[in-house]
Amino acid sequence: MNHPNIQNLAVTIDAAARDAVAIDQFTEQQRLTVDDAYEIQAASIALRQARGEKIVGMKMGLTSRAKMAQVGVDSVTWGRLSDAMLVTDGGSICMNNFVHPRAEPEIAFLMGAPLSGRVTPVEAMAAVAGVAPAVEIIDSRFQNFKFALADVIADNSSSSGFVVGSWSAPGTDLSNLAMTLLRNGRAEQIGSSAAILGNPVRSLVEAARMIAESGGRIEPGWIVLAGAATAAIALAEGDSIKVTVESLGSASFSVD
Ligand code: OOG
Ligand code: MG
C-alpha cells in the first residue's frame, strides 16, 4: 500500500495558500481517498492555528447544482473558517493575496448552541441565533481552478475569505429567497436560496452530520456558510461586489 504523506501535503497546500502560488493537483500525482483529504485539510488548518489563527466556523461546498456544474465535482464538501479569513462588510481585499479569487452568493448561520450528528431541519434551526447574507471568496490553490474531489477537500474546499452582512433573527423562511451577486452595480448572477439543497437549512443539517464524522461539532458562536446558490464569478482589481438576499439585506466588499 502506498500511504500518502498527509503532513507533507498539508505543508504544501498551506504554503500555496499563504504565498498565493498555484500548485499541481495532488490527485494527478497520487491516489487520495476522501478520508485522506479531510486529514490533509485538518493538518493544514492546524498549521494556521499554530500561527495564531482561530477557528470561527465552517463552510459547506458544492451544495447547489450550479456550483457542482461549474467545477465538475458532484459531492457536498466542507471546510473550516478562520478569523483571518473574515473580511469586514464594506471592506476590501487585495488581489495580491490570492491566486485567482472568485466570489459567490451565500447565506450564513450564526450558531447559538452546539450542533452535531444526525439532526432534523427543525433541530438545526433551533440551534441558530441569526441568519445573514454572505459572500464567500474562494480561491483554489490548484492551477486553473481545476481539481478532483480529494484535491478540493484537502484545499479546505477552496475557502479563502468571507463577508457577512447584518444578522437577522432566525424567523425568516429561508426556502426560496431571491439571491443576487452584483459587480459594480450590475447583477451577474441571480438565483434562489432554494438552489442550496432545496433549503439552506438542509446544508446546516449536512454540516452537523459531516463534522460529527470527523469527530467534531459545530460550536456556539460559529458561523456556518451554507454554500453558494449560483456559480461563482472571477474577481478583478477594481471590482465592487455585493450580494443581496431577499428579506435579509446585503453584504459587500471591494477588490484593490
Ligand atoms: C469549491 C467550493 C464550493 C460552494 O459554495 O459551493 C463552494 C469551489 O468551487 O472551488 O464553496
Ligand atoms: Mg462557497
Question: For 136-184, what is each residue's pLDDT tens digit?
Answer: 999 999 999 999 999 999 999 999 999 999 999 999 999 999 999 999 9
Q: Is 156 in the pocket of ligand 1 (CB under 6 A)?
A: no
Asked if 201 contacts 215 with a C-beta cutoff of 8 angstroms, the reply is no
Per-residue confidence (pLDDT) for residue 4, from 0 to 100: 83
Residue 149 · residue 61 · CB < 8 Å:
no
Counting ligands in written order, the one closest to the CA of 79 is 1
Q: Quote the pLDDT of residue 190.
A: 98
- Testing ligand 1's pocket by substitution, the residue of 73, 81, 99, 136 carrying the most ligand atoms inside 8 A of its CB is 136
Residue 1: is its pLDDT beyond 60? no
Q: State the distance from the centre of ligand 1 to the C-alpha of 126, rounded, in angstroms.
A: 26
Structural contact between residues 172 and 247, judged by C-beta atoms closer than 8 angstroms = yes
pTM of the model: 0.98
Q: Which grid cell is 80?
A: 473550516
Cα separation, 217 vs 127, in Å, equals 12
Average pLDDT for residues 232-239, to the nearest whole number? 98
Question: Predicted confidence band at 82 (pLDDT cuts at 50, 70, 90)?
Answer: very high
For the chain, percent of residues with pLDDT exceeding 70: 99
pLDDT range class, residue 130, cuts 50, 70, 90:
very high
b/e 158-178 (16+ beta carbons within 10 angstroms → b)? bbbbbbbbebbebeeebeebe
Position 3 pLDDT exceeds 90: no
**Distance separating alpha carbons of residues 137 and 37, to the nearest angstrom:** 21
215 near 48, Cβ under 8 Å? no
Alpha-carbon distance 55 to 82, whole Å?
4
Q: Judge if the beta carbon of residue 102 lies within 6 A of ligand 1.
A: no
Question: Mutation test of ligand 1: which of 76, 104, 233 has the most ligand atoms closer than 8 Å to its C-beta?
Answer: 104
Note the pLDDT of residue 2.
Answer: 60
Distance CA 154, CA 10 (A): 8
Give Cα separations from 125 to 201, 204, 247, 250 (angstroms): 7, 8, 17, 21
Return the bridge partners of 190, or none. Answer: 180
Ligand in closest contact with the CA of 233: 1
Say yes or no to pLDDT of 75 above 70.
Answer: yes
Ligand 1: residue whose CA is nearest its atom 11: 61
Tell how far the Cα of 83 is from the centroid of ligand 1, in angstroms: 19
| Ligand 1 lined by 244 (C-beta under 6 Å) | no
Q: Where does the pLDDT of residue 252 fall: very low under 50, low under 70, confident under 90, or very high at 90 and above?
A: very high
Does residue 71 have its Cβ closer than 6 Å to ligand 1?
yes
For residue 138 and ligand 1, the question of a CB distance below 6 A is answered with yes
> Looking at residue 251, what is its pLDDT?
99
Per-residue pLDDT of 23-41, as tens digits, reads 999 999 999 999 999 999 9
